[in-house]
Amino acid sequence: MACDLILVLDEPSPKSVEPLLKQLVGEVTWVKIGLQMYTACGPDCVREIAGWGFKVFLDLKLHDIPNTVARAVESVARLPIEMLTLQTSGGKPMMREAIKAQQAAKPSLLLLGVTVLTSMSEADLRETGVPTAPEAQVVRLATLAIDSGMSGLVCSPLEIAPLRASLSPHVRLIVPGIRPAGSKADDQTRILTPAQAARAGANYLVVGRPISQAPDPVAATRTILRDIEEASSS
Residues marked as catalytic: 61
Angle, CA of 98, 101 and 102, to the nearest 5°: 85
Q: Return the percent helix, strand and coil in the chain, to nearest 5.
A: 50, 20, 35
Question: What CA–CA distance (Å, rounded) separates 47 from 44?
Answer: 5
Measured between alpha carbons, how far is residue 170 from residues 62, 72, 135, 146, 152 in Å?
23, 26, 20, 11, 9
AA letter at 230? E
Nearest to 166 by CA among 212, 201, 133: 201
Nearest to 150 by CA among 83, 65, 56, 81: 83
Residue 36 · residue 61 · CB < 8 Å: no
Residue 67 · residue 95 · CB < 8 Å: no
Residue 56 · residue 31 · CB < 8 Å: yes
Question: What CA–CA distance (Å, rounded) separates 60 from 85?
Answer: 6
